[in-house]
Amino acid sequence: MAAPGRTGDGAGTVLDTHLAHLAAALLPFRRAEQLLARWGGELAHRLATGGRLLVAGNGGSAAEAQHLTAELVGKLRDDREPLSAIALHAETSALTAIGNDYGYDEVFARQVRAHGRPDDILLLMSTSGTSANLLTAAHAGRDTGLRCWAFTGPTPNPLADACAETLAIDSPESQVVQELHLVATHVLCEYVDRALPAALAGRAAQPVSTGPARSTPVRTGVEVVLADEAPEVEAR
């Protein structure tokens, strides 16, 4: 009888096996540093100048996506202003309505079309890189003018091909892929926080546009229109 925790095939414990897979992926993962630093700087600039981050994933990747948005809307470590980041799968009423009316492939894409603006960033997370609803979202993001990034497992995969840039974890184990996606999330947020002061300073230095002058006065209050009578304005 195998000892508790051992696989019974001489390969060591379950933990030993898992850590061996994780260790094998760590060395190539170190090469992601430069990409995460650049993404962090770009994301800080986009968020500081009024853009937003849209994130989506399925299953465990959905949890990873929501973890990322929580770090940005809340904070990673030090206090700072909140940053606009939306986990699309967390909109459960919209998600189920879209899935019911348009099919599950559209659950993220329709939200991308609704919330995304040119130069926003769309980050899609998938261990396989083959999820149809994420691929549809990537195409919607490109059509809407968003900058599309992906966290995936090994490449090549369709999601990596559909996005402008990809952080790919070189491991056949989906658990290891998700664990290193979480590490990448924390490192990305660290780089956002480092770049944010300069991005905010650049925003403050930009001249504020007052927009075109109004040709008519601004009306306040609520108009109540009764039959055969001229509009009246209720004071607030």
Q: What is the pLDDT of residues 86-137, one digit of tens each?
A: 999 999 999 999 999 999 999 999 999 999 999 899 999 999 999 999 999 9
Distance of CA 201 to the CA centre of its chain: 24
pLDDT at residue 213, rounded to an integer:
45
* 227 confidence band (pLDDT: 50, 70, 90): very low
pLDDT at residue 207, rounded to an integer:
61
- Kindly tell me if the per-residue pLDDT of 171 is higher than 80: yes
Distance (Å, whole) CA 148 – CA 39: 11
Peptide bond into 154 cis (omega under 30): no
pLDDT at residue 135, rounded to an integer:
98
* pTM score above 0.75: yes
What's the chain's average pLDDT?
A: 88
* 31 confidence band (pLDDT: 50, 70, 90): very high
Hey, what are 218's tokens? 């601004």
